[in-house]
Amino acid sequence: MEIKVTFPGGEKVNAEINGRIVATDQPTGAGGEGSAPTPYDFFLASLATCAGFYVLSFCHQRQIATEGLALAQKMEFSTSPDGRKKLARVAIEIGLPPGFPEKYRSAVVKAAEACAVKKAIMDPPEFAITASMA
């Protein structure tokens, strides 16, 4: 798999994934136009949407109605000794729809915990960054 990154101007950085463009920008206070989420926002959203996909799939496989199903993700940050802000905790709450079978409550939580993005963070990959002349 390959993601191609382009720089369309200003502080914008786009990623092309399977023919689709994911546009990012920086907030106006950081020199951008605020026209798109930041890359870090997409990172955080990937955790929530991945968990959401696993929850949705869980319900679909069991033919559980999903009207009213919701997921909320809250982040807590701490400050490192050198003063940098650090993601300290990610809390995901699944809002179960009316009529959700009580017998599946712990199982749907386990489904969300199976998120591939979370697993990649828990067992981080090796990074290899190089530079070459165009």
Cα–Cα distance for residue pair 42/91, rounded to 1 Å: 17
> Model confidence over 5-33: pLDDT tens digits?
999 999 999 999 999 999 999 999 999 99
Arithmetic mean of pLDDT, 24-53: 97
Arithmetic mean of pLDDT, 25-42: 97
> Model confidence over 100-125: pLDDT tens digits?
999 999 999 999 999 999 999 999 99
**Is 132 a residue whose pLDDT tops 90?**
yes
Examine residue 64 and state whether it is found in any structural domain, yes or no.
Answer: yes
Of 88, 15, 90, whose CA–CA distance to 47 is shortest?
90
CATH number for the domain harbouring residue 116: 3.30.300.20
Examine residue 50 and state whether it is found in any structural domain, yes or no.
Answer: yes
Global confidence as pTM:
0.90
Examine residue 56 and state whether it is found in any structural domain, yes or no.
Answer: yes
Which structural domain range is residue 92 located in? 37-122
**Is 134 a residue whose pLDDT tops 90?**
no
The pLDDT mean for the chain works out to 97
Examine residue 129 and state whether it is found in any structural domain, yes or no.
Answer: no
Cα–Cα distance for residue pair 44/90, rounded to 1 Å: 9
Cα 14–Cα 18–Cα 20 angle in degrees, nearest 5:
45
CA 40 to chain centre: 9
**What pLDDT score was predicted for residue 121?**
95
**Is 72 a residue whose pLDDT tops 90?**
yes
Inter-residue contact 44 to 66 (CB < 8 Å):
no
Examine residue 107 and state whether it is found in any structural domain, yes or no.
Answer: yes
Number of domains in the chain: 1
Examine residue 8 and state whether it is found in any structural domain, yes or no.
Answer: no
Examine residue 24 and state whether it is found in any structural domain, yes or no.
Answer: no
Examine residue 41 and state whether it is found in any structural domain, yes or no.
Answer: yes
